[in-house]
A = this chain, B = another copy of it.
Amino acid sequence: MKKKPARTEATTVGAIDDEALRYTAGRDVELDLALVEADCIGSAAHAVMLSRLRLNPPLFTPAQLRRVLRELAAIRRAAARGEFTIRPADQDAHLAVERTLTERLGELGRRIHAARSRNDQVAVDLRLFAKRELLGALAETAALAATLLEFGERHAGVPLVGRTHMQPAMPSSVGLWATAGCESLLDDASVLLQAYELNDQCPLGSAASYGVPLPIDRQLVSDLLGFSRPIHNVLHANNTRGKNEGFILFALGQTMVTLSRLAQDMILFSMPEFAYFRLPAAFCTGSSIMPQKRNPDVLELVRARAARLLADAHVLQEILRAAPTGYNRDLQETKEPFLNGLASARATLRVMDRLVAGTRVDEAACRRAFTPDVFATDRALELVVGGTPFRDAYHHVKAHLGELRARDPVEALMRKTHLGAPAGLDYAAYRERINALRETARAETAEFDAAIRRLLGR
C-alpha cells in the first residue's frame, strides 16, 4: 500500500457545502480553544498506551513516543500562550492537533488516531477540562462559604426581622441569615462532589462507542490521566457525553439557586426603605440618565444568570432524552452551554465572595425595623409555657394584637437557644466542614497536577 499525504479534510465524505460546514461547525473553532490543553494531555496518554501495545512493528518506538510527547507539550504551551489556532477546515480542536502533529512529525502524526475516535477524544477532553473547573468551583464555594460564615459570626448578635411571604414574621439575626447561606453552599458542594466523582471516570477507548479489535489498555490510560477508574462499558462511555455535563451544570445550578436567593435578600435589605445592608460602592452601578442612582446590578445579574444556567442544565437533559444511544451529532450543541455554565457559575461565586465581604450592616436600621407584631409568636409561646394550649394562646394573641409591646430584639434572640436557632448556631462545626471541603479540593488538585506532570511535564 502506498503512503498517502496527510489529508485531514478527508474525514468528511467529500467536499462539504460551505453553509453546511458553518452550520455543523457552529462556534466550535472558537469554543474548542478551551479544550486544546486537554486534547494534548489525552493524546499523550493515548500515545503512551499505543506505544506499549505488543504490535510488530510497534505503533510508536520509545524514541518516536518521546517525539510525539514533545510536540504535544509544545502545542499545549502554544495554546496556553494563545498562539494555537484552529482552522475552519479543522472543524475542531481534535483534528487541529492531529493536523499540527502531522505537519511536524509526518507519519507519526498520522499514527496517533489509531483505536480512538473524535467522540471519545471530546469525551475525555471535556472530563479533563471539567475536572479542573470543578476543583476550582469547589475551592471557590469553600471561600464564599467561609466569607458568609465570617460575616455571620461577626454579626451574630445583630437582630434582623425574619420574614415569611416577604412579610415580617419573627425575630431573626444576621448570623442566622448568613450561616443559612453558608450551610446551603455546603449542601450544594456535596452535590458538586458527587458530580466530580462521576466525572472522574475515563471514557477513552470507546472509539466510535463499540470498542476496537486491538488489545488497548483502558486501565493504563485512565491511570495516566489521573482518573479514579475507566468507565467500563464502551457504549456507556459514549452515552455519558452530555449527561455528565448535565449533572455538573445541575450541581452548579443548585449553587446558583442558593446565590440567587441570597441576592434577592440582599437587594431587599439594601433598598433605602430597609437599609439593613449597605453594598460596597464598587459593586454598584449608576444610570445613564438618573444622577442619583446606585443599583445592585451584580445581584440582579446573579438572579438572571442563575436562570440561564438552570435552563442550560435542562436543555442538556432534553437533547439527550430525545436522542437514541450511541453518538449523535446533537451532542455538539451541549458543549457551548456547558462551557458557558461553568464559567458563569465560577464568576458568580467569585464576585459574590467579594461583594459579601464588602457589605456593611447597619445595626441601628436593623433594630428600628422591629415593630411589636414581630414578637407575637414569642408572646403566644410564653402563654404556652404558662400552661395555655398553643392554639388557644395563638387565638388570644391574635385577638389582642394591639396590646403587643415592643421588646428588645437581641434579648428575644438570646432566648432561641436550641440547635440551629439564632443563639444555638455551631459556628465551629461550619468552619470544620468548610475546611474539609477546601482540603478535598486542594488534595485532588495536587494529585491531578502530579499525574499530568508525569505525563507531559511542566
Contacts and interface: CB of A to CB of B under 8 A. Distances in A.
B420 A232 contact: yes
B210 A162 contact: yes
Contact of A183 (B209, B232, B320): B232
Interface in A388-439: 388-398, 401, 404, 412, 415-422, 424-426, 429-430
A282 B107 contact: no
Given A10-B398, A390-B110, A418 B291 contact: no
A366 interface: no
A146 to B, nearest CB: 16
Nearest to A419: B218
Interface stretch (A77-85, A129-137, A378-386): A378-386
B322 A282 contact: no
- The 4 lowest CB-CB distance pairs between A and B, nearest first, are A211-B421, A322-B322, A304-B330, A110-B389
Interface stretch (A67-75, A267-275, A444-452): A267-275
B282 A16 contact: yes
Q: Chain A: interface residue count, which band?
A: 35 or more
A321 interface: yes
Nearest to A113: B390
A250 interface: yes
Nearest to A177: B235
Contacts of A63: none
A232 B426 contact: yes
Query: How many copies make up the complex?
Result: 4
Nearest to A317: B310
A388 to B, nearest CB: 6
Contacts of A187: 198, 236, 240
Given A164-B326, A261-B321, A208 B289 contact: yes
26 contacts: A11-B285, A14-B281, A59-B384, A113-B394, A165-B327, A165-B329, A169-B210, A172-B209, A176-B211, A180-B233, A181-B325, A210-B421, A210-B422, A212-B416, A213-B415, A214-B418, A217-B419, A243-B257, A246-B257, A254-B317, A292-B374, A295-B329, A303-B321, A307-B321, A310-B317, A310-B318
A432 to B, nearest CB: 12
Given A287-B11, A287-B208, A191 B184 contact: no
Given A314-B311, A419-B218, A164 B295 contact: yes
B324 A261 contact: yes
